[in-house]
Structure 1
């Protein structure tokens, strides 16, 4: 089964289908929620950013793994031309 949810543009994966946009929206909403939650409990700007960067890297890694396995890959016949 081919899942063409994302297309790769350089090092970034852009959503190409409704399912891809849904995953992107969920990842973005979770990142915003995580930032707000960390900001409530932190005591300074640097404390917020230090804790948020790690969570953002984890969210980005999960998004990238999902996008890698569901990206639209070129067909082998197209590569021969």
Structure 2
């Protein structure tokens, strides 16, 4: 169960980054922060990928995907890299 949850979180993070909602720091790749786009952009991209069947091995239900995106974006609300800001 935890392994599936981790996989869903990883895919949700990738969707949010691909949509520009979140971005990775160029110096500290492990750090992700707010990219400026609205969360709606990630939902749209995720729904497009879900409809194309690209996420079937990760998400059974569309709602699980949107919930994972919502939680992922909420977890990464900083506007800058915390390591660069030091």
TM-score after normalising by structure 2: 0.32
Structure (1/2) with the larger helix percentage = 1
Structure whose alpha-carbon radius of gyration is higher: 1
Taking structure 1 as the reference length, what is the TM-score of the superposition? Answer: 0.34
